[in-house]
């Protein structure tokens, strides 16, 4: 038996953003139909909580695959040559449980997270939304720029990062890549002033986006926090938004952006309007008015990683990309 190994460069070649967006739509719909299993992820925190190791198992009936993402989360890597999220996705086939592939998890996470935000933006942002604010200049900031350019006809792009030099580098690098002008903003408030779409992609442990700054009709993709002890949005921002999620169970157990306002008594479980998969299946309505503020709280799901890895596996077979290693017993 041979197992495919796919490195980060090869993942970028095989998992294109415009291909990943419909793959994420299908995975979320399949999960909504009950054709997938996505248990809560166990997380092992390192001493003093300087980092964590997360494990995300999942099963999909279609595409027929199961597996797990094992990823380290190291906030101190922000601003260094190391990604804050590093790991591997292990892909197995469903019939006999045989290992098919080991795929770099950092690139899958970067691409599929932004692709899901693109799904949310297509479902929830105003059709004419064209003013984009990105908070955070790291890997997710860059991938979200690419995804938002596919989701809506963006005319204006603003970037803010806690390190001004990083914002400038982002503006120059990504501006050249997409042939777009990207404005470097001096503050978060200035960056989001009048924005139609806001993507928060930071490692901030405390709220950085305030409800008082949000314009009517804005859509927010809150991506940076994936544990219950941190959040990017203050309580006012969550209260005044119609909240949609990738998975209700995950939000109730893992999302600091939701759990902090709930603990304060500002909202309850009914504040969650529904899941993206439910909108895609026509079970619930997304945006209702041009004035309302919509919020997608992204946590990331194992089914998204497995669907991405399966797509990579199939394309690698067709193109001859990747390295096959002998795994015979």
Phi, psi (rounded to 5 degrees) for 51: -175, 180
Q: Does residue 209 sit in the same domain as residue 318?
A: no
Phi, psi (rounded to 5 degrees) for 48: 65, 10
Residue 225 has pLDDT above 90, yes or no: no
Beta bridge partners of 45: 52
Mean pLDDT of all residues in 56-60? 97
**171 burial level (CB within 10 Å; 0-12, 13-18, 19+):** buried
Strand order in the sheet with 131-135: 182-184, 156-160, 131-135, 197-200, 219-222, 293-297, 241-245, 272-275
Give the C-alpha separation, 153 to 155, whole Å: 6
Residue 304 has pLDDT above 80, yes or no: yes
Q: Which of 53-62, 164-173, 176-185, 223-232 has the lowest mean pLDDT?
A: 223-232
Which pLDDT value is given to residue 75?
79
Taking Cα atoms as reference points, which of 227, 221, 203 lies closest to residue 80? Answer: 203
Give the C-alpha separation, 326 to 329, whole Å: 9
Residue 293 has pLDDT above 80, yes or no: yes
Q: What's the domain count of the chain?
A: 2
Torsion on CA atoms 41, 244, 141, 316, rounded to nearest 10: 60
**Model confidence, pTM:** 0.94
Q: Does residue 138 sit in the same domain as residue 281?
A: yes
Q: Does residue 270 sit in the same domain as residue 127?
A: yes
Which pLDDT value is given to residue 211?
96
Percent of the chain with pLDDT over 90: 88
Q: Give the domain extent around 53.
A: 2-109+303-326
Which pLDDT value is given to residue 229?
85
Give the C-alpha separation, 294 to 120, whole Å: 10
Q: Does residue 40 sit in the same domain as residue 189?
A: no
Q: Does residue 129 sit in the same domain as residue 260?
A: yes
Q: Does residue 171 sit in the same domain as residue 279?
A: yes
Predicted confidence (pLDDT) per residue in 79-99, tens digit: 788 877 799 999 999 999 999
Q: Is the peptide bond before 63 cis (omega within 30 degrees of 0)?
A: yes
Q: Does residue 30 sit in the same domain as residue 164?
A: no
Give 69-80 as a DSSP string.
Answer: EEEEE-GGGTTS
- Whether the CB-CB separation of 102 and 6 falls below 8 Å is answered with yes
CATH code, 266: 3.40.50.720
Q: Does residue 150 sit in the same domain as residue 207?
A: yes
Q: Does residue 144 sit in the same domain as residue 75?
A: no
Give 119-141 as a DSSP string.
Answer: HHHHHHS-TT--EEEEE--SHHH
Q: Does residue 57 sit in the same domain as residue 36?
A: yes
Predicted confidence (pLDDT) per residue in 3-27, tens digit: 999 999 999 999 999 999 999 999 9
Structure tokens belonging to residue 70:
């094992």
Q: Which of 60-69, 81-90, 121-130 has the lowest mean pLDDT?
A: 81-90
**223 burial level (CB within 10 Å; 0-12, 13-18, 19+):** buried
Q: Does residue 272 sit in the same domain as residue 164?
A: yes
pLDDT class of 125 with cuts at 50, 70, 90: very high
CATH code, 21: 3.30.1780.10
Percent of the chain with pLDDT over 70: 100
Q: What is the CA radius of gyration of the chain?
A: 19
Q: Does residue 236 sit in the same domain as residue 176?
A: yes
């Amino acid at each position: 038996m041979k197992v495919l190994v796919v490195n980060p460069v090869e993942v970028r070649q095989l998992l294109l953003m415009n291909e990943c967006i419909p793959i994420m739509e299908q995975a979320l719909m399949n999960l909504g139909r009950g054709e997938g299993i996505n248990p809560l992820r166990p997380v092992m925190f390192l001493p003093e909580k300087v980092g964590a190791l997360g494990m995300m198992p999942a099963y999909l009936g279609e595409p027929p695959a199961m597996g797990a993402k094992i990823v380290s989360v190291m906030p101190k890597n922000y601003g260094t040559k190391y990604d804050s999220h590093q790991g591997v996705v292990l892909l197995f086939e469903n019939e006999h449980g045989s290992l098919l592939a080991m795929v770099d998890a950092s690139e899958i996470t970067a691409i599929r997270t932004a692709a899901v935000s693109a799904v949310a933006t297509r479902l929830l942002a105003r059709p004419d939304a064209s003013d984009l604010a990105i908070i955070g200049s790291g890997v997710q900031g860059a991938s979200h720029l690419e995804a938002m350019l596919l989701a809506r006809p963006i005319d204006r792009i603003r970037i803010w990062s806690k390190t001004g030099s990083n914002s400038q580098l982002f503006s120059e690098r990504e501006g050249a890549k997409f042939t777009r002008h990207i404005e470097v903003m001096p503050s978060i408030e200035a960056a989001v002033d009048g924005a139609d779409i806001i993507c928060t992609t930071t490692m901030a442990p405390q709220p950085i986006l305030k409800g008082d700054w949000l314009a009517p009709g804005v859509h927010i993709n809150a991506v940076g926090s994936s544990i219950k002890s941190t959040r990017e949005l203050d309580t006012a921002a969550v209260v005044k938004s119609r909240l949609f999620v990738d998975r209700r169970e995950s939000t109730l157990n893992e999302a600091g952006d939701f759990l902090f306002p709930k603990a304060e008594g500002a909202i309850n479980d009914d504040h969650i309007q529904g899941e993206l998969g439910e909108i895609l299946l026509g079970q619930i309505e997304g945006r209702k008015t041009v004035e309302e503020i919509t919020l997608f709280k992204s946590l990331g799901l194992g089914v998204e990683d497995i669907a991405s890895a399966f797509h990579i596996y199939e394309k690698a077979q067709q193109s001859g990309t990747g390295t096959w290693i002998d795994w015979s017993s």
